[in-house]
């Protein structure tokens, strides 16, 4: 790369930081690496540079490479790592305009990482952490064979997103807490979950009975694993498995932490990408206005930006939908189009022209950024108006013996908004909890899917249970529901392709 080009890039970089700061974006230092194409494709496939070896990354690499070689149409590629300093990548072959777009986009992502509360606990050293792990995993492969290692990696990958970063108590802390809580309840009235541990006959509760009950309570809690249902599946398996060797636990722990790193990113896809797109457009506008970029850059930028914001007939584009929603929020709070008075106004014309010159758009935006995930973002800001403005529709698949067609079914904005919001239920990741690690005293694992009107995908559910079995080594049970009918329990005992379905008695 020529010195001149480099200097131009650095100038724009500093300009972008300045503009972003003036708008009130807070962000930690960023390092950009200018890298060749193949490196970019590799980082995109592996998500994090230096990540561990696995066939899935190889498959994705091949897929990305093929698309890039055959049909790459100029869509800007971006990868940003939430570390400190944040690390991002610029593909060497990009045009200057695209480099600027990517830099502006990345700055906003880093601001999102810095400002949003869900990212505050994230590990900031994922790159060295994973590249160290990668070296260890390679050793394991030499020692135990690729297939054996991949089996554990695949299994841990399958459930790595099931954790709860807000659940930071240890088991013994939880036990203490529940004990204290139950103790207090029992002292007041004998109706708690654990009341039947002791026969409270004549409602006469003296000190002795309470003492006896509490001792029994403590013993019961001590034997209960987990002491209360846990969403952190890998954590529980690592701590309680009799099946895993230390090296296997190492793999599980590394991938659990990787899952934790991605946890907030997966749950903020729309608000994060929307935020970054909103800001790269704003920043680029200023760069053009100040003539830092030329008119020929402008054509390039327009083209690439239109690819980023392309409509997709089969799914929602988070860059487009997210950024349009942010624009809507900013406009509403700039013009005061919110609150009781506005909502109660029935005059459409008046509503249209509503403008209190409040100018609190960005203030509101930053307030939302600090606390929201996609789920809440959609609940609070995907209005029926938004659905209409974005031309969103619902389609279903219709099958004939010869073909499948996809047909639009619904266009009622209220219904569509409701359905979209529902699809973000539990942040788009089904809530699965381990409730018993010693089911029927046989050391079997019992999981419950907390059904929220959305069914689990059958084939995926079964294969994931096989993965869990590979880690736990004993039968796995999963309670779930289909279409609000009776609860069922699926059991996998390790026998190939055999699943037993039991109906719940109640």
Tell which positions 36-75 bind another protein, by CB under 8 A: 36, 38-39, 41-42, 45-46, 53-59, 61-62, 65
d(CA 78, CA 99): 10
Burial of 183 from C-beta contacts in 10 A (0-12 / 13-18 / 19+): middle
Q: Copy the structure tokens of residue 466.
A: 């096989």
**C-beta closer to another protein: residue 29 or 191:** 29
Select the span of 3-11, 249-257, 284-292, 359-367 touching another protein (CB under 8 A).
Answer: 3-11
Residue 345 binds another protein (CB under 8 A)? no
| CA-angle at 432, arms to 430 and 434, nearest 5° | 175
Min dist CB 130 to another protein, Å, is 12
CA separation, residue 318 to residues 224, 362, 372, 452 (Å): 43, 20, 15, 23
Displacement of CA 364 from its chain's centroid (Å) = 23
d(CA 504, CA 256): 32
Compute how many residues bind another protein; rule: CB under 8 A: 94
Q: Which residues of 273-310 are buried (b: 16+ CB within 10 A; e: fewer)?
A: bbbbbbbbbbbbebbbeeebbeeebeebbeebbeebee
Among 143, 212, 396, 503, binds another protein (CB under 8 A): 396
d(CA 23, CA 109): 14
Would you mind telling me the total number of residues written for the chain in this entry?
506
First to last CA, the chain: 70
- What is the CB neighbour count within 10 angstroms for residue 479? 19
Among 22, 391, 441, 505, binds another protein (CB under 8 A): 391
d(CA 182, CA 194): 8
- What is the CB neighbour count within 10 angstroms for residue 331? 12
Strands 476-481 and 444-449, how do they pair?
parallel
Provide CB contacts within 8 A for 251, sequence distance 6+.
Answer: 137, 140, 149, 152, 153, 156
Min dist CB 299 to another protein, Å, is 24
Residue 315 binds another protein (CB under 8 A)? yes
Report the SS3 class of residue 477.
Answer: strand
**C-beta closer to another protein: residue 214 or 480:** 480
Select the span of 13-21, 124-132, 169-177, 338-346 touching another protein (CB under 8 A).
Answer: 13-21
**C-beta closer to another protein: residue 202 or 459:** 459
Min dist CB 362 to another protein, Å, is 23
Q: Which of residues 462-491 bind another protein (CB under 8 A)?
A: 463-464, 467, 483-484
Q: Which of residues 253-292 bind another protein (CB under 8 A)?
A: none
**C-beta closer to another protein: residue 7 or 223:** 7
**Pattern 19-38, another protein, x by CB under 8 A:** ----------xxxxxxxx-x
Residue 390 binds another protein (CB under 8 A)? yes
Report the SS3 class of residue 35.
Answer: strand
Among 202, 459, 495, 506, binds another protein (CB under 8 A): 459
Min dist CB 377 to another protein, Å, is 15
Min dist CB 298 to another protein, Å, is 22
Residue 421 binds another protein (CB under 8 A)? no
Closest CA to 479 of 441, 427, 435: 435
**Pattern 426-455, another protein, x by CB under 8 A:** --xxx-x----------------x---xxx
Q: Which of residues 84-143 bind another protein (CB under 8 A)?
A: 85, 90
Min dist CB 244 to another protein, Å, is 20
Min dist CB 223 to another protein, Å, is 28
Residue 445: enclosing H or E segment and its boundaries? strand 444-449
Among 170, 246, 352, 401, binds another protein (CB under 8 A): 401
Min dist CB 156 to another protein, Å, is 11
| Crossing angle for the helix pair 233-240 and 458-472, to the nearest 10 degrees | 30
Min dist CB 501 to another protein, Å, is 15
Among 19, 320, 329, 365, binds another protein (CB under 8 A): 320
Residue 17 binds another protein (CB under 8 A)? yes
Min dist CB 173 to another protein, Å, is 27
Min dist CB 57 to another protein, Å, is 5
Residue 209: enclosing H or E segment and its boundaries? helix 207-223
Residue 161 binds another protein (CB under 8 A)? yes
């Amino acid at each position: 790369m020529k010195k001149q080009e480099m200097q131009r890039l650095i100038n724009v970089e500093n300009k972008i930081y300045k503009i972003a700061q003036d708008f009130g974006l807070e962000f930690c230092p960023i390092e950009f690496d200018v890298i060749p194409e193949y490196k970019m494709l590799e980082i995109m496939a592996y998500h994090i540079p230096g990540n561990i070896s696995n066939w899935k990354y190889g498959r994705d690499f091949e897929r990305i490479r093929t698309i890039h070689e055959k049909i790459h149409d100029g869509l800007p590629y971006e990868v940003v790592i939430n570390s400190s300093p944040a690390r991002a990548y610029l593909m060497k072959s990009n045009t200057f305009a695209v480099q600027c777009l990517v830099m502006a986009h990345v700055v906003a992502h880093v601001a999102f990482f810095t400002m949003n509360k869900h990212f505050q606990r994230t590990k900031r050293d994922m790159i060295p952490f994973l590249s160290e792990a990668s070296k260890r995993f390679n050793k394991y492969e030499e020692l135990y064979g690729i297939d054996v290692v991949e089996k554990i990696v695949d299994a841990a990958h399958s459930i790595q997103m099931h954790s709860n970063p807000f659940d930071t108590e240890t088991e013994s802390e939880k036990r203490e807490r529940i004990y204290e809580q139950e103790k207090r309840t029992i002292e007041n009235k004998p109706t708690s979950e654990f009341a039947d541990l002791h026969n409270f006959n004549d409602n006469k509760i003296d000190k002795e009975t309470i003492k006896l009950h509490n001792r029994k309570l403590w013993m019961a809690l001590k034997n209960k694993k987990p002491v209360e249902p846990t969403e952190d599946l890998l954590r529980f398996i690592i701590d309680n498995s009799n099946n895993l060797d230390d090296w296997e636990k190492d793999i599980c722990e590394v991938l659990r932490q990787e899952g934790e790193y991605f946890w907030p990113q997966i749950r903020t896809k729309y608000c994060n990408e929307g935020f970054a797109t909103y800001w790269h457009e704003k920043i680029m506008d200023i760069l053009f206005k100040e003539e830092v970029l030329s008119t020929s850059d402008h054509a390039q930028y327009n083209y690439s930006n239109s690819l980023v914001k392309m409509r997709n007939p089969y799914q929602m584009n988070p860059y487009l939908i997210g950024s349009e929603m942010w624009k809507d929020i900013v406009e509403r709070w700039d013009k005061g189009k919110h609150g009781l008075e506005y909502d109660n106004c029935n005059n459409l014309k008046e509503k249209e022209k509503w403008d209190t010159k409040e100018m609190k758009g960005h203030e509101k935006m930053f307030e939302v950024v600090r606390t929201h995930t996609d789920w809440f973002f959609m609940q609070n800001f995907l209005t029926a108006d938004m659905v209409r403005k974005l031309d969103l529709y619902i389609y279903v698949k219709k099958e004939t013996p010869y073909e499948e067609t996809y047909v639009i079914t619904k266009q009622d904005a209220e219904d569509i908004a409701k359905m979209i919001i529902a699809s973000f239920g539990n942040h788009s990741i089904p809530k699965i909890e381990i409730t018993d690690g010693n089911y029927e005293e046989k050391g079997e694992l019992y999981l419950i899917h907390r059904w929220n009107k959305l069914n689990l995908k059958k084939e995926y559910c079964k294969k994931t249970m096989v993965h869990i079995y590979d880690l736990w080594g004993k039968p796995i049970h999963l309670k779930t529901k289909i279409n609000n009918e009776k609860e069922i329990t699926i059991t996998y005992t390790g026998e190939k392709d055999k699943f037993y379905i039991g109906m719940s008695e109640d």
